[in-house]
Amino acid sequence: MSGIDFPSPFTPAHDPHVLPIVGVRMATAAAGIKYAGRTDVLLMAFDAGTSVAGTFTQSACASAPVEWCKDLLGEGKARALLVNSGNANAFTGMKGKQSVQRSADIVAHALDVPPQSVYLASTGVIGEPLTADKFADVMEGLVGSLDGAPTRWVDAAKAIMTTDTFPKAASRQVDIDGEEITLTGISKGAGMIAPDMATMLSFIATDAAIAPDVLQAMVSKAVGGSFNRITIDSDTSTSDTVLLFATGKTLSETPITYIEDSRLGVFQAKLDELCLELAHAIVKDGEGLSKFVTVRVEGATSNASADVIARAIGNSPLVKTAFAGEDANWGRVVMAVGKAGEPADRDKLAIWFGAGGTEVRVAVEGARDPAYSEEAAASVMKQPEITLRVDLGLGDGAATIWTCDLTKAYVAINGDYRT
């Protein structure tokens, strides 16, 4: 059984339209990693001079590809990226380390680049050895079909899907010094999604000339406001990876080499937008979901406190199942606030459920709202996108996370996932 048996209600009518990045070529192939005949390998090739930065899972049981990429990142240069779905190459011991070395060597030989410039990512089943020679079997075809066409980005998004039900890709453009700068990215993820990061992968490229240390600061900020603020099931993957590549084809005469560069503001804003769109797409493809939920906590003693409480609400199975049942059960929200371990005062608490411009206050000052309408609340809860707002009434701290409901389909998808 796979996620495709339970298509997301947010599945777009058409594949995303994205823009090409000069200096990036891509190809995909079916290597039989887990299933015969399924496209499951992505190869990206970057022109010489491409910078790279990234962020990774905070799991203490990180996969072999994550450890490989972390070791390479200090060099700040990339010539290729090899990604596979169907096998995470995680919890695979020495075999996992040998597999990533062999995989990098295969790509390096085929493209005539150093193995230390080849980045790797894997997603899928944990604990199964990954046979790198499967990449060798399709590498000649991959290299021969490398192409920079924008449709290849959608092909790439499809190749890295596991229980995802639709490809996730997006682009942004911004004018800097009279040059049009382009950013395009893809992501995958539908389950095992929770910070830090929230199994998800994302690969973004820009044609701008930006130094690796500046790229690192930018991607860290963008991830902090997007991929690190989503949760589907509160489980952090072994394999989470976000990589940002900069090919240097624009701004080549005046590259951005320091973080104080005044041009970075508009670029950062577009990168933040792109990452948030991709992060939202992951939640909207959450395994078995029926609702996309924004959790907004206000009035906390600090932003950090609000963040803890928002995550306690968004990760609560009882809150999530209430959304699945279209039940405005504020008692479960009160429970989640109370268990978070952060300052809260029952008698100052206010709770709203909202959708489509309508917001219904269901609780205030430690009790049900005197004007509460079951009919109005039920109408809101039937909507596909819902906002839960909580005001603690203690201070100015605020935080937002994005999550989804928890349905029987989630259990069905994950009960059969490994087989």
Res. 4: pLDDT tops 80: no
Least reliable range by pLDDT among 184-198, 214-228, 280-294 = 184-198
Q: Pairing relation of β-strands 179-188 and 168-176?
A: antiparallel
Of the pLDDT bands very low, low, confident and very high (cuts 50, 70, 90), residue 194 is low
The residue segments making up the domain with residue 104 are: 3-283
Res. 3: pLDDT tops 80: no
Of the pLDDT bands very low, low, confident and very high (cuts 50, 70, 90), residue 188 is confident
Calculate mean pLDDT across residues 273-287: 93
**CATH number of residue 332's parent domain:** 3.10.20.340
Contact predicate 229/262, CB 8 Å = no
Calculate mean pLDDT across residues 15-27: 96
Residues 271 and 149 in one domain: yes
Q: How far is CA 173 from CA 81, 180, 242, in A?
A: 23, 7, 20
Instruction: State residue 366's pLDDT score.
Output: 87
Mean pLDDT of the chain: 91
Give CA–CA dist 299/394, Å, rounded. Answer: 5
Residues 81 and 144 in one domain: yes
Res. 231: pLDDT tops 90: no
Residues 353 and 238 in one domain: no
Calculate mean pLDDT across residues 159-171: 88
Residues 255 and 308 in one domain: no
Residues 23 and 144 in one domain: yes
Residues 179 and 304 in one domain: no
Q: Which of 57, 199, 294, 407 is catalytic?
A: 199
Q: Above pLDDT 90, what percent of the chain? A: 78
Instruction: State residue 288's pLDDT score.
Output: 79
Instruction: State residue 190's pLDDT score.
Output: 56
pTM for this prediction: 0.91
Give CA–CA dist 171/263, Å, rounded. Answer: 19
Last residue of one domain, picked from the residues 283, 304, 330: 283
Residues 23 and 67 in one domain: yes
Instruction: State residue 198's pLDDT score.
Output: 42
Instruction: State residue 20's pLDDT score.
Output: 97
For the chain, the residue count is 419
10 Å Cβ neighbour count for 225?
Answer: 14
Contact predicate 247/46, CB 8 Å = yes
Our count of domains for the chain comes to 2
Contact predicate 132/118, CB 8 Å = no
Q: Is 183 helix (H, G, I), strand (E, B) or coil?
A: strand
Residues 144 and 265 in one domain: yes
- List the structure tokens of 58: 């905070």
Give the dihedral of Cα atoms 179, 172, 151, 217; nearest 10 deg: 90
Res. 112: pLDDT tops 90: yes
Residues 274 and 334 in one domain: no
Q: Is 210 helix (H, G, I), strand (E, B) or coil?
A: strand
Phi-psi sector, 234: left (phi>0), alpha (psi -120 to 50), beta: left
Nearest to 225 by CA among 298, 288, 274, 189: 274
Instruction: State residue 134's pLDDT score.
Output: 95
- List the structure tokens of 102: 């062999």
**CATH number of residue 36's parent domain:** 3.60.70.12
Last residue of one domain, picked from the residues 283, 300, 332: 283
Last residue of one domain, picked from the residues 283, 311, 327: 283
Residues 275 and 306 in one domain: no
Give CA–CA dist 319/324, Å, rounded. Answer: 9
Strand-pair partners of 44: 26, 81
Give CA–CA dist 221/147, Å, rounded. Answer: 31
Instruction: State residue 332's pLDDT score.
Output: 95
- List the structure tokens of 236: 């952090």
Q: Is 199 a catalytic residue?
A: yes
Residues 309 and 378 in one domain: yes
Calculate mean pLDDT across residues 204-230: 95
Residues 229 and 133 in one domain: yes
DSSP summary character for residue 105: H
287-345 per-position pLDDT tens digit: 878 999 999 999 999 999 999 999 999 999 999 999 999 999 999 999 999 999 999 99
Instruction: State residue 238's pLDDT score.
Output: 66
Give CA–CA dist 274/203, Å, rounded. Answer: 11
Instruction: State residue 1's pLDDT score.
Output: 37
Res. 128: pLDDT tops 60: yes
